[in-house]
Amino acid sequence: MGLILAKGDPVIEVRGLKNVFGEQVVHEGLDLDVRRGEILGVVGGSGTGKSVLMRSIIGLQTPAEGEIQVFGEQMVGRDEEEAKHIRRRWGVLFQGGALFSTLTVAENVQVPIKEFFSGLDRQLLDEIAAYKISMTGLPPLAATRYPSELSGGMRKRAGIARALALDPELLFLDEPTAGLDPIGAAAFDELIGELSHALGLTVFLITHDLDTLYAICDRVAVLADRKVVAVGTIPELLALDHEWIQEYFRGPRGRAAAAGAHEEQEAGA
Amino acid sequence: MSETADISHDAGGRRRVLRFAGNLTLLRVRKVSEELKQVQDEALDVDISDVERMDTVGAWLIHKLQRDHGARVIGASAEQQLLLDQVAKADTPMQVRAEHEQPMLRLVAEVGEATKTAMSTMLGLIGFFGSLCMSAWHLIRHPRRFRFNAVVTSFDMVGVRALAIIGLMSFLVGVVIAQQGAVQLRQFGAEVYTINLIGRLTFRELGILMTAIMVAGRSGSAFAAQLGSMKLAEEVDAMRTIGVSPMEALVLPRVLSTVLLMPLLGFYASIVALIGGGLLCWISLDIPPITYVQRIREVVPMTDLWSGLIKAPVFGMIIAMAGCYQGLQVRGDAEEVGMRTTAAVVQGIFLVIVLDAFFAVFFTEIGWV
C-alpha cells in the first residue's frame, strides 16, 4: 500500500492538464489540488468539462498534456495492472448510476468486493451488501431488484452503495443529487457528510446543487475558461471579482441556498 | 504499526474482554471474521482502544458482537463511535439473495408465461392491424396528410439499399439449387429436369421466401430499433402531444413501402436466382442459355409467378407490422430495445413461414399446380 498521508496533504494533484476533443479544447493549463479529508465541490457552467476532468483523474480519458497524481502516484500513462491497486482505493458514482443491468442491486455492491477480496464467506458478503444498501437509504426490498426495476433516485443510491463497497479513501461523485427530490437530496448530503467525517473520506464532488455546496463542501473549485479559475471556501469565492462566480452565488438560487444554510446554522446553534 | 487486527482474549475479570488492535479494515477482515465465529460468550467487553484504522466492515463486525452477544464497546474514539452508530443505523433485516423456485415449478411457470406472452402478442398484433387500417382509411379521406417524404425515405432504406445483398444471396441460392438438383437428378439420367426445378422453385417459393427473410432481418429489425429508441426518448409521446399520430407518421409509411417493395424485390430475387441457376447449367451441364430460357418458358406456368407475387405484399405487411409493433411496445430501458428487435425478426420470419404453408395448400387446392 502507498504512503499514509497526513490530513491536509494533497490526495489529487493535477498540473497543466490539457484535454482536446478534435478541434475543441476543453481544458488547458488546468491545475487543481484536492486535500486529504476534504469535500471539494466542483462547479462550472454546462460544457466546461467537469465530467471530463473527473474522467481524466480516474483514468478513463487520456489527457493530451499534463500530469495527474493520485495518492502521490503518477496516473497518466500508467498501465492497467499497475493502476489496479490505486483504483481499489477510490469509488466512483457516475451520473446515471451506471449499475450493471444483469445483476441485482446486492450483487452490484458485491462485485468490487469479490473482484479485490476473493474468498470472503458468503454470509459476510451478504451482510456487507445489506448494510451498505440500507446505509444509502434504500429500502430492504431493493436488494434483490434489478436496476431496471428502480427509479432514477434509487439507482443513484445503489450506485453510491457500490462506490462505497470497498470503503474507499477517495470518492468521486458526478452530480449525486441531480434528479433526487429535495428531501432525498438533503438526506444524501447528510450521508456523504457523515461518511466522509467518519471514514476520513476525501470527496471529489461535481454538482449543480447549491444546497449541497453550502451544506457539505469544505472548498469549492470553479471551472471556467478551460481551467480552474478559483478554489476556496464559499466566503472566499464571494470576495472574488469574477463575473461567473458572482452570478452563480449571488443569483436568486444562490441567495436562497445561502439563506437556507444560514437558517440551519442558527437552528443548530 | 501492526498490520493485522489482533484479537486477544482476557479472561481475568468476571467479564471476558476481547481486545482488538491494528487495522480493522476490509483488507484484514477475513481472518477476524473467521475467529469471531468462535465467540460464544454472552456479556463480554470489546476493547478497541488500540485499533488504528477501522472502516465500515470493521465497524460491522464490532456491531455484530454488540448485537448478538450483548458486548459492551470500550475505548472507541469519537470517529469510531460515529462509524459504529452509522452501521448500527443501517442494520436492517434484508433478503439479499433472490429465492430460487423449484426447477419443475419454474419450468411450468415459464411455459405459462411464454404462452401468455404469445397470446397477448397475437391479440396485440391483430389490434395493431386494426388501428393501422383505421389510420389508412383516415388517410384516404384526407389524402393531403399523406407523408410522401417518409415513404420515399423508407423506399430507399428497404428497397434500394437491399438490392446488392438480396441479389448476391439469390444468385447463390440459384447456383446451389442447380448444382444439388443436377447431382441428384443425374442418378436417374434426368439432368434436364434441373431447369424445371430451378424455374418452379424460385418463382413459386424460394425467391419470395428468401427475400422475406432478408427483409425481416434488415428492415423489420431496423423498424423495431428505430421506433423503440424513439419511444425511449419520448419522441413518440411528444408527437402525440403535438397532435401528430405516430401511426400515420411512423408506422404507415414503413408498412406501405414494405408492402409495395416486397413484390418487386421478390421478383428481382427470382430473376437473379434464375440467372445463377442458368449459369451453372451452362457451365456444368452444357445447356446453352438460349435453350435454358426456352425451357424455362415451357415448364414454368404463369400461375407460379402469380402465386409468388400474391404472397409477397402479404409477407411485407407482416414483417413491417411485426417490426413497428414491437418497436412501439418498448418501455423501460435500452436493453428492451434489443429484446424487442430480436422479437420483431423472430415473429416476422415465423409468421411468414406459417402463412407460406397456408398459401402453398391454398394455391394447390385452386388448381395452380
The domain limits of chain A are 100-167
Please list every residue in chain B whose beta carbon sits closer than 8 Å to the beta carbon of residue A152: none
Note whether B30 contacts A: Cβ–Cβ < 8 A. yes
Give B6 or B113, the one with higher predicted confidence. Answer: B113
The domain of B171 spans: 122-365
User: C-alpha cell of A73?
Assistant: 502516484
How confident is the model over B268-311, as pLDDT tens digits?
A: 999 999 999 999 999 999 999 999 999 999 999 999 999 999 99
Please list every residue in chain B whose beta carbon sits closer than 8 Å to the beta carbon of residue A133: 94
Rounded to whole angstroms, how far apart are CA atoms B3 and B9?
19
Query: B10 CA to chain A: closest CA distance, Å?
Result: 26
How confident is the model over A184-215, as pLDDT tens digits?
A: 788 888 888 877 877 778 999 998 888 888 88
The alpha helices in chain B, defined as continuous H runs, are 29-36, 56-69, 78-89, 103-141, 148-158, 163-186, 194-201, 207-215, 221-232, 235-242, 246, 252-285, 289-299, 302-328, 334-365
Rounded to whole angstroms, how far apart are CA atoms A212 and A188?
9
B105 occurs within a structural domain: no
* Shared-domain flag, residues B136 and B43: no
When pLDDT is cut at 50, 70 and 90, the band that residue A5 belongs to is: very low
* Shared-domain flag, residues B173 and B255: yes
Most A CBs within 10 A among B94, B97, B100, B330, hence the mutation to make, goes to B94
B211 occurs within a structural domain: yes
| CA-only gyration radius of chain A, Å | 19
CATH number, domain with residue B46: 3.30.750.24
Query: B83 CA to chain A: closest CA distance, Å?
Result: 6
Note whether B242 contacts A: Cβ–Cβ < 8 A. no
pLDDT-wise least confident of A234-248, B14-28, B98-112: B14-28
Query: B143 CA to chain A: closest CA distance, Å?
Result: 42
Give A39 or B101, the one with higher predicted confidence. Answer: A39
Note whether B29 contacts A: Cβ–Cβ < 8 A. yes
* Shared-domain flag, residues B127 and B220: yes
pLDDT at residue A184, as a whole number: 78
Which run of H or of E encompasses A26? strand A24-35
Most B CBs within 10 A among A131, A138, A148, hence the mutation to make, goes to A131
pLDDT at residue B13, as a whole number: 57
Q: Do residues B254 and B262 lie in contact, with contact meaning Cβ atoms separated by under 8 Å?
A: no
pLDDT at residue A224, as a whole number: 86
User: For A35-45, what is the mean pLDDT?
Assistant: 88
Query: A63 CA to chain B: closest CA distance, Å?
Result: 30
Which run of H or of E encompasses B21? strand B17-24
pLDDT at residue B6, as a whole number: 63
Dihedral, CA of residue A193, residue A198, residue A203 and residue A206, to nearest 10: -20
- Show Cβ contacts of residue A121 under 8 Å, excluding neighbours closer than 6 positions: B33, B34
* Shared-domain flag, residues B63 and B167: no
B111 occurs within a structural domain: no
pLDDT at residue B12, as a whole number: 58
> Which of B67, B89, B111 lies at the terminal end of a domain, its last residue?
B89
Task: Verify whether the Cβ–Cβ distance A119 to B30 is below 8 Å.
Answer: yes
Q: Do residues A75 and A59 lie in contact, with contact meaning Cβ atoms separated by under 8 Å?
A: yes
* Shared-domain flag, residues B48 and B147: no
Rounded to whole angstroms, how far apart are CA atoms A12 and A29?
16
Note whether B40 contacts A: Cβ–Cβ < 8 A. no
Task: Verify whether the Cβ–Cβ distance A164 to B29 is below 8 Å.
Answer: no
* Shared-domain flag, residues B176 and B68: no
User: For A95-99, what is the mean pLDDT?
Assistant: 82
Query: B320 CA to chain A: closest CA distance, Å?
Result: 28
What's chain B's average pLDDT? 89
CA triplet B322, B222, B220: central angle to 5 degrees? 30
Note whether B83 contacts A: Cβ–Cβ < 8 A. yes
Note whether B52 contacts A: Cβ–Cβ < 8 A. no
Give B216 or B25, the one with higher predicted confidence. Answer: B216
User: For B319-333, what is the mean pLDDT?
Assistant: 92
Task: Verify whether the Cβ–Cβ distance A200 to B86 is below 8 Å.
Answer: no
pLDDT at residue A204, as a whole number: 92
User: C-alpha cell of B84?
Assistant: 459504529
Instruction: Kindly provide the ipTM of the predicted complex, given to two decimals.
Output: 0.75
* Shared-domain flag, residues B265 and B340: yes
When pLDDT is cut at 50, 70 and 90, the band that residue B7 belongs to is: low
Query: B116 CA to chain A: closest CA distance, Å?
Result: 21
pLDDT at residue B3, as a whole number: 45
Rounded to whole angstroms, how far apart are CA atoms B303 and B319?
24
When pLDDT is cut at 50, 70 and 90, the band that residue A2 belongs to is: very low
When pLDDT is cut at 50, 70 and 90, the band that residue A3 belongs to is: very low
For B24, name the nearest residue in chain A, comparing CA atoms only: A167
Rounded to whole angstroms, how far apart are CA atoms A60 and A19?
12
Side chain identity at residue A111, one-letter code: V
Please list every residue in chain A whose beta carbon sits closer than 8 Å to the beta carbon of residue B83: 198-199
How confident is the model over A161-171, as pLDDT tens digits?
A: 898 888 888 89
Checking if the pLDDT of A4 tops 50, the result is no
For A150, name the nearest residue in chain B, comparing CA atoms only: B332
pLDDT at residue B211, as a whole number: 96
What's chain A's average pLDDT? 84
**CA A18 distance to own-chain centroid:** 21
pLDDT at residue B332, as a whole number: 76
Domain count, chain B: 2
